[in-house]
Structure 1
Amino acid sequence: MPRPTGRVLTLLELLQSGGTRTVAELADRLGVDGRTVRRYVDHLVDLDVPVESVRGRYGGYRLGPGHRLPPLMLGDDEALAVLLGLIAGRRAGLTTADSTASETAAAKIQRVLPRHVAHRLDALLDTLDVTDRPGPAPEAPDTDVLLTLADAVRHRRPVAIRYTDREGRRTERTLHAYGIVAHAGRWYVTGHDADRAADRSLRLDRIADARALPGSFEPPADPEPARRLLEGFATAAYRHEVTVRVRATAEEVRAHFPASVATVGTDGEEGWLRLELRAERLDWVPPLLAALDRPFVIERPDELRERVAALADRLAARARAS
Structure 2
Amino acid sequence: MARPIARVLTLLELLQSGSTRTVTELADRLDVDERTVRRYVGHLVDLDVPVESVRGRYGGYRLAPGYRMPPLMLSDDEALAVLLGLVAGRRAGLATDTASETAAAKIRRVLPDRLRGRLDAVLASLAFTDRPGEAVAPESAVLLAIADAVNHHRPISIRYTAADGRRSERTLHPHGVVAHAGRWYVTATDLTAGEDRTFRLDRVNGARTLPGSFEPPAGLDPAMRVLTGLATAPYQHEVTLRIQGTAEQIHTRLPAGVAIVQELPAPSGGAPETEHWSRVELRVDRLDWLPAVLASLDLPFVIERPDELRDLVEALAERLTKSARRRCETE
TM-score tier, shorter chain, comes to 0.5 to 0.7
What is the CA-CA distance between 1:217 and the residue it aligns to?
Answer: 2.3
2:217 partner amino acid: P
Q: Relative to structure 1, is the Cα distance of residues 307 and 139 closer, same or farther in structure 2, using a 3 angstrom cutoff?
A: same
- Give deviations 1:158-183, integer Å, cap 9, x for gaps: 21111111111111211111011111
Which residue number corresponds to residue 282 of structure 2?
A: 277
Counterpart-to-counterpart distance in 1, 2:250 and 2:28 = 48
In structure 2, relative to structure 1, the CA distance for the partners of 1:278 and 1:218 (3 Å cut) is: same
Mapping 1:45-56, distance limit 5 Å: 54=35
1:25 corresponds in structure 2 to 31
What letter is aligned with 1:195?
T
**How far does residue 140 in structure 1 lie from its aligned partner after superposition?**
3.3
Structure 2 gap ranges (5+): 16-22, 51-66, 72-77, 89-130, 268-275
Query: Normalised by the size of structure 1, how large is the TM-score?
Result: 0.64
Three-state SS of the structure 2 residue aligned to 1:188 is strand
Q: Residues 113-132 of structure 1: matches in 2 within 5 Å?
A: none
Contact 2:183-2:200 within 8 A present in 1 as well: yes
Quote the residue 2:40 is aligned against: 62
- Cα distance per residue 1:119-144 (max 9 Å; x no partner): xxxxxxxxxxxxxxx98597432121
TM-score (norm. length: structure 2): 0.62
2:7 maps to 1:11: yes
Partner of 1:42: none
Whether the 8 Å contact between 1:176 and 1:191 is mirrored in structure 2 is yes
- In the alignment, which of 306, 310, 321 is matched to residue 316 of structure 1? 321
Deviation at 1:268?
4.6
Cα deviation, 1:18-76, whole Å, max 9, x if unaligned, reads: 646489937xxxxxxxxxxxxxxxxxxxxxxxxx9947xxx8963325142972589xx
Separation in 2 of the partners of 1:23 and 1:297? 54
1:316 Cα offset (Å): 1.2
Q: Where does residue 209 of structure 1 map in the other structure?
A: 206
1:173 aligns with 2:139: no
Q: Give the whole-Å Cα distance in 1 for the aligned partners of 2:153 and 2:279.
A: 37
The total of aligned residue pairs comes to: 237
Q: Which amino acid aligns with 2:310?
A: R
Partner residue in 1 for 2:145: 148
Which amino acid letter does the alignment assign opposite residue 262 of structure 2? G
Structure 2 residue aligned with 1:231:
228
Q: Tell me, in whole angstroms, the C-alpha distance in 2 between the residues paired with 1:317 and 1:248.
A: 28
Match of 1:297 among 279, 302, 312: 302
Deviation of 1:13 (Å): 3.0
Identical amino acids, percent of aligned pairs: 48
| Mapped partners of 1:22, 1:304: distance in 2 | 57
Pick closer, same or farther for the CA change 1:23–1:194 going to 2, 3 Å: closer
Structure 2: distance between partners of 1:181 and 1:138: 16
- Tell me, yes or no, if the aligned pair for 1:245 and 1:267 is still in contact at 8 Å: no
In the alignment, the residues of structure 2 paired with residue 316 and residue 160 of structure 1 have an alpha-carbon distance, to the nearest angstrom, of 58
Secondary structure at the aligned position of 2:279 is classed as strand
2: distance between equivalents of 1:174 and 1:73? 40
Residue 245 in structure 1 maps to residue 245 in structure 2: no
Match of 1:221 among 218, 224, 246: 218
How far did 1:286 drift?
1.1
Any conservation in 1 of the 2:264–2:279 contact (CA below 8 Å)?
A: yes
Distance in structure 2 (CA, Å) of the matches to 1:7 and 1:187: 41
Cα separation, partners in 2 of 1:22 and 1:219, compared to 1, 3 Å: closer
Separation (CA, whole Å) in 1 of partners of 2:30 and 2:145 = 42
SS class of match (2:218) = coil
> Residues 135, 10 of structure 1: CA spacing in aligned structure 2 closer, same or farther, 3 A cutoff?
farther
Counterpart of 2:180 in structure 1 is 183
Is this contact kept in 2: 1:22–1:61, CA < 8 A? no
CA drift at 1:275: 0.6
Distance in 1 of aligned mates of 2:145 and 2:300: 49
**1:266 CA displacement:** 2.9
- The verdict on how the C-alpha distance between 1:60 and 1:161 changes in structure 2, with shifts beyond 3 A counting, is closer
Assess, with a 3 A threshold, how the Cα gap between structure 1 residues 243 and 22 changes in structure 2: closer, same or farther.
closer
Structure 1 unaligned regions, length at least 5: 27-51, 75-81, 93-133
Describe the SS at the equivalent of 1:63. helix
